[in-house]
A and B are shown apart, each in its own frame.
Chain A
Amino acid sequence: QSALTQPASVSGSPGQSITISCTGTTSDVGGYNYVSWYQQHPGKAPKLMIYEVTNRPSGVSSRFSGSKSGNTASLTISGLQAEDEGDYYCSSHSISGNTQYVFGTGTKVTVL
């Protein structure tokens, strides 16, 4: 089972919007609306930011939004803030082999 493909890095200035893509196949991203996004700061546990493609858990800023088209999901961060800097991972339910879930390769977000 291959990891979902994300850009290695994305950067933006404070206040700008950035978008992170997450590309899979019809066996994962394209086949189900079960894409999640996680934020991870150095040395810390991941934090759920988006689930089921577009849903935000309570407590997560509305500046974070998700979408999907075909085999590619996207996370958009609007009004970029310094605290948004970190690593972001997508994840999807998968029916490939025995693996239930596949994660993305990860994207480092830098706030300039």
Chain B
Amino acid sequence: EVQLVESGGGLVQPGGSLRLSCEVSGFTFRSYWMNWVRQAPGKGLEWVANIRQDGNEKHYMDSVKGRFTISRDNTKHSLYLQMNSLRAEDTAVYYCARGGVLHGFDMWGQGTMVTV
């Protein structure tokens, strides 16, 4: 069974930092692009960042570029999001999502809440 489990969310002051993790199981992690997608309370979905299978290509949405860093450890089947200089507008549930179909997200974790 495919599983993606996020952790690391919590309450942080503006300007602070958090590191989110997403541990996966049930599929060959190193074979997939991986993404972070967030959803502010009562709002829609917003793509945040993604990372290529080997970790050597990364993309970010404009408002987090320079503040957030996506990374992965294929030996630990884990995806990470280091979030620095956090702002109130970063408050959201953060989901990790597998890029299992071309330019789409086929599997999602349950999300972790970040409150700034």
Contacts and interface: CB of A to CB of B under 8 A. Distances in A.
B-side interface mostly: strand
Interface of A: 1, 3, 32, 34, 36, 38, 40, 45-48, 51-52, 55, 57, 89, 91-93, 97-106
Nearest to A97: B62
A52 B61 contact: no
Interface stretch (B8-16, B17-25, B76-84, B107-115): B107-115
Interface string B60-92: 111001000000000000000000000000000
A97 B59 CA distance: 11
Interface of B: 35, 37, 44-47, 50, 59-62, 65, 95, 97, 101-111
Contacts of A105: 44
A51 B28 CA distance: 21
A99 B95 contact: no
A91 B106 contact: no
Nearest to B98: A48
Given A98-B59, A98-B62, A52 B47 contact: no
Given A51-B106, A52-B102, A103 B47 contact: yes
Given A3-B44, A89-B45, A100-B50, A34 B108 contact: no
Contact of A57 (B44, B97, B101): B101
Contact of A100 (B47, B101, B109, B111): B47
B107 to A, nearest CB: 8
A12 B111 CA distance: 30
Given A34-B104, A36-B101, A52-B102, A98 B44 contact: no
